[in-house]
A and B are shown apart, each in its own frame.
Chain A
Amino acid sequence: MESFAFAPAYELPVWPFTTPPELGRTETVRHPIVIVGAGPSGLTLACDLAQRGIRAVLLDEDDTVGVRGASSRGICYAQKSLEIFERLGIYERIAAKGITWSFGRTFSGEQEVYSFNLQAESVSRQPPFINLQQFYVEWFLVERILELGLTDLRWKSRVTGIEPLSDGVRIGIETPAGRYTIEADRLIDATGANSPIRTQLGIEAHASRSTDRWCISDVRFKKPLPVERWTWVDAPFNEGRGVWQHLMADGVWRIDYQMPEDCDTARISQPEVAGARLREQLGPGVEFEFVWIGPYGYRDHLLDSFRHGRVFFIGDAAHVVSPFGARGGNSGIQDAANLGWKLALVAQGQADDALLDSYDAERQPAAKQNLEVTSRSARFLAPRSPAEHTLRRAVVALAARHPFARALVNTGRMSVANDYPPTPQLPDGGRTVQNLPLRWADGRETTLMRLLAEGTQCLGLWLAPTRAEAKTAMDATASLPLRLLAIGGDSGLPALQADETLMRHLGLHDAGSFVLVRPDAYRAATLAHATPDAIAAALRTALALDHHAP
């Protein structure tokens, strides 16, 4: 039997535990914001807050990034996440280290039955996707957080229990130097799928587990393959079951094999067994070495509400979906970006607690949608009855000949920035605005993310207002977090050049039309004929400020 080699393990960074000032003190110290869990969502939130000049305490039970073996877990970072990382200052590192892609192909047997090119829909500076091992993203975030210097990052600090108070949360923490207690005005649970905080509070997560089994092989080999997402509904080299093939950093391919439902997970992940599968796929004579092998079965859960009093749930603590379409990690990163600016405005006294309710109103439906979308993919990939097998055979057979059926082939619908339903803060719903390349009137280049990276304010983009309107609007919104910019015209406001892509993406047509963009790059309002009063009202609505206040 052929034997297979493993690459040397990654050397991950380790950060030191330092004894916190509260340890050994009798009085309990209160912090405005405490985040628990330094995974992608917790780190993104801490970094987002720090970028806005807001301090937070971040607790993590470990002192490094990634988990045992380092290489498994999330690999695909979607455009919205990449735009957030651009705003936080780590995009360039991610782009340099990761693999940029936009093209996906799906095969049945030897035949291609479906393909997509996500670049076609994009007007962003960031590509549709970059693949990168999750621990690199976490690593870059930690380094950026340390560079910003506002986050109290406490490693080797395990939360042993929390106690909700009327005006905050009491948190018990265990460290190598002993136990201590702190309080928080607000606590953000980013502890992941097995959240002990959620369990302790007895919050129903509506969890379910799939019987579908998969085995990941992360592997390096020397065989030139296109940098595309390839999936097989039924691969001839995997006994007619599904396969995923995707490149990430350091020349490591993630190949994910669907296994029989009743398989022995220990056996199928043995190097000889995994190696034989890979040999079947790559053919003879291709050298390869394993980086990681791991079996998994996916699960899902979704909280009914992402806010419980002073406790907020983000990322996997709030929702878990099957991996098809990369909607897990990306959704957690977007949770963090949704909550970050709201916490910042509340911390700065520019918005009330009511604004924080909109986090749940927007992100819970987004997670619900992701759960529906990924569950449909999972069901296509693992039919549950003879009738489902029959229907899938029909789809695949027709897809080979007729374009209409290709749309039914579902090996995962890639992560998007979910639209938000209409809510009190978003009367017309919310829609992402991509990171448009922009140009100031004098020709200097900028981007939407660069404009949003400065402070915490909404952007008002106003097509050619008059000087009088601009002046009145500036006065009407002087006390509010708004940066008012003109597109074209001669209004005296700082002005961007009018550009067809920009206007089309924002849905601006006539002079005087206006778009309000939130700090998380979601469109909060569109005004066909903006007046200064209407702009101020739209802003107050978006920020959940009292309309009747003077």
Chain B
Amino acid sequence: MITDPRIPDPDGFYAALLAAHEDLSETHSADLNARLVLLLANQCGDQAVLLACIRAAAEDPTTTATP
């Protein structure tokens, strides 16, 4: 899993992501994110990296309930 910065225009990417979510309901936003995750996963195409990304995402302290 690459954690060094690789996105050429981070602010531009983030703005585009927000724009895609603009005016969407919570459900539609969740749907969009899910589609995006799947599309990006296929760009990556590396099983080990995908699993590492899932683990890294699940570890985020702000979204993981402590047991």
**Interface of A with B (CB < 8 Å)?**
387, 390-391, 393-395, 397-398, 402, 404-405, 408
Contact = CB atoms under 8 A, between A and B. Distances in A.
B30 interface: yes
Contacts of A395: 38
B57 to A, nearest CB: 13
A404 B45 CA distance: 10
A404 to B, nearest CB: 4
Interface string B14-45: 00000000000001001100110111001000
26 contacts: A387-B30, A390-B27, A390-B30, A390-B31, A390-B34, A391-B34, A391-B38, A393-B31, A393-B34, A394-B31, A394-B34, A394-B35, A394-B37, A394-B38, A395-B38, A397-B31, A397-B35, A398-B35, A398-B38, A398-B39, A402-B39, A402-B42, A404-B42, A405-B38, A405-B42, A408-B38
A387 B31 CA distance: 9
A434 to B, nearest CB: 28
Contacts of A391: 34, 38
Given A390-B27, A394-B35, A394-B37, 20 more contacts: A387-B30, A390-B30, A390-B31, A390-B34, A391-B38, A393-B31, A393-B34, A394-B31, A394-B34, A395-B38, A397-B31, A397-B35, A398-B35, A398-B38, A398-B39, A402-B39, A402-B42, A404-B42, A405-B38, A408-B38
Contacts of A387: 30
B50 to A, nearest CB: 12
A398 B31 CA distance: 11
Contacts, number: 26
A387 B34 CA distance: 9
A396 B42 CA distance: 15
A405 B40 CA distance: 11
Interface residues of B, number: 9
Nearest to B32: A394
A405 B37 CA distance: 11
Nearest to A391: B34
A511 B42 CA distance: 42
Contacts of B35: 394, 397-398
Nearest to B39: A398
A442 to B, nearest CB: 49
Most B CB atoms within 10 A — which of A387, A393, A394, A402?
A: A394
A418 B42 CA distance: 27
Contacts of B42: 402, 404-405
Most A CB atoms within 10 A — which of B27, B30, B34, B42?
A: B34
A365 to B, nearest CB: 21
A398 B34 CA distance: 10
Contacts of A404: 42
Contacts of A390: 27, 30-31, 34
Contacts of A397: 31, 35
Contacts of A394: 31, 34-35, 37-38
A405 B42 CA distance: 8
Contacts of A405: 38, 42
Contacts of B37: 394
Contacts of B34: 390-391, 393-394
The 8 closest A-B pairs by CB, nearest first: A394-B34, A404-B42, A394-B35, A390-B30, A390-B34, A391-B34, A394-B38, A398-B38
B51 to A, nearest CB: 15
Contacts of B38: 391, 394-395, 398, 405, 408
B31 to A, nearest CB: 6
A375 B56 CA distance: 25
A395 to B, nearest CB: 7
A398 B35 CA distance: 7
Nearest to A394: B34
A393 B38 CA distance: 11
Contacts of B39: 398, 402
Interface string B35-67: 101110010000000000000000000000000
B10 to A, nearest CB: 25
Contacts of B30: 387, 390
Nearest to A386: B30
Contacts of B27: 390
A121 B42 CA distance: 25
A15 to B, nearest CB: 53
Nearest to B45: A404
A206 B9 CA distance: 52
Contacts of A393: 31, 34
Contacts of A402: 39, 42
A376 to B, nearest CB: 15
Contacts of A398: 35, 38-39
A402 to B, nearest CB: 8
Nearest to B35: A394
Contacts of B31: 390, 393-394, 397
B37 to A, nearest CB: 7
